[in-house]
Structure 1
Amino acid sequence: MDTCPSIKNILLLDSEGKRVAVKYYSNDWPTNSAKEAFEKAVFTKTQKTNARTEAEIAMLEGNVIVYKFVQDLHFFVTGGEDENELILATVLQGFFDAVGLLLRLLHYVIVYFLI
C-alpha cells in the first residue's frame, strides 16, 4: 500500500478544452492520443459545472479529478480513486497560485519594456 499520495497529471486547458500546459506523472495514458482523449473527456465532463469560486471534485475512469476555472483557464489535478481529495485540492491551489504569479510577473515585464 502506498503511503505517499501521488498525482497522475496536472492539466491547464483553455475555454475550448485545448492544451495550454499539461504534465503527466503516470503511464496510465501511454500515447499522446490517449492523453488527448482523456483531456477531452475531462473537459466535456466538467465544462457545465460552476467551479469558479471553489474547487470541485469529479470521478472519471477510476480517477479523482479536482478542478477550478478562472476566466478562460481550466485547472485540473488528477489522482487515483483512493487519493485524498484534500491533498489533490492543495496541489491544485499551489498550481493555481504559481500560474497566477507567473502571469502577473509576465504582465509587469511587458509593461516595463513597453514604457
Structure 2
Amino acid sequence: MEAMLQPSLYTVKAIIILDNDGERIISKYYDDTYPTVREQKAFEKNLFKKTYKSDSEIALLEGLTVVYKNNVDLFFYVVGSSQENELMLMAVLNCLFDTMNIIFRKNVERRILLRHLDSGFLVVDEIIDGGVIMAVDPTSVADRIVMRGEDIPLTEQTVAQVLQSAKDQIKWSLLK
C-alpha cells in the first residue's frame, strides 16, 4: 500500500520569467530544492532548453511539474512538486500572465517588464506568498497593485486613487 501524501498549502515551488535567450528576468523560489543561485540558473537553463520549442503547456523536469506559457519574447513558468495538481499551477500561471496583461495594457514584453520590474515583482508577491497561493483572480490582483497609484498617470487615476495616494504620502512623510 502506498503512503498517502499529506495535503499542503505550499503548492508553488517557484515562479520564473525568462526572456527569449533563456536569461532570467524574474525568478522567485519558495523552498530549498535549488538553494544556490548556481543551481537555480542551471535548472532555468535546463527548463528553457526543454520548453523553448515545445507547444505543450506542461512539462515534467527533475521530478517537478512545470506549467508554462510564452508571449512575444517572454516565457512564464510556475513550478510545483511532481504530485501537484496541474490545474492549480495553471490557475496561478494564468493569473500571473493576465495580471501582467492588465497592468502593462496588453503590452507584455521584455522591454516593458524590465522598465517596470518593481510592478512585476509586486504581481508575483500578490499572487504567491512563501509558496502559498493567495490569489488567482487577475482583476483583483491588478486592482491591489494599481491602487498604489504609482504605475498609472495622474490623469488616468480615479479621485479615490488620487486621495489614497495623497494619504499614503502624508503617512510616509510623518513616519520619517
Instruction: Report TM bin, short chain.
Output: 0.7 to 0.9
Query: Does residue 1:75 correspond to 2:80, yes or no?
Result: no
Q: What SS does structure 1 have at the residue aligned with 2:34?
A: coil
Q: Secondary structure at the match of 2:75?
A: strand
Q: 1:92 to 1:105 in 2, by over 3 A?
A: closer
Unpaired segments ≥5 residues, structure 2: 1-5, 113-150, 156-176
Q: Which has the larger radius of gyration?
A: 2
After TM superposition, the runs of 4+ consecutive aligned structure 1 residues lying more than 3 A away are 105-110
Q: Which has the larger displacement, 69-78 or 96-105?
A: 96-105
Q: Measure the CA separation in 1 of the matches of 2:60 and 2:88.
A: 15
Number of the residue aligned with 1:21: 26
Counterpart position of 1:49:
54
Amino acid at match of 2:70: F
Q: Within 1, Cα distance between the matches of 2:10 and 2:34?
A: 19
- 1:1-115 to 2 correspondences below 5 Å: 1-4=6-9, 6-50=11-55, 56-104=57-105
Flag structure 1 segments of 5+ consecutive residues without an equivalent.
none
- TM normalised by structure 1 equals 0.83
The one-letter code of the counterpart of 1:89 is: M
CA contact (8 A) 1:65 1:78 kept: yes
Q: Which has the higher strand share?
A: 1
Q: Give the match's secondary structure for 1:42.
A: helix
Aligned residues: 107
Identity between Structure 1 and Structure 2 (%):
40
The residue type equivalent to 1:100 in the other structure is N
RMSD, aligned CA: 2.3
Structure showing the higher helix proportion among its residues? 2
Deviations 1:73-93 (CA, angstroms, capped at 9, x unpaired): 100000000000000000000
The structure whose RCO (Cα within 8 Å, separation 6+) is larger is 1
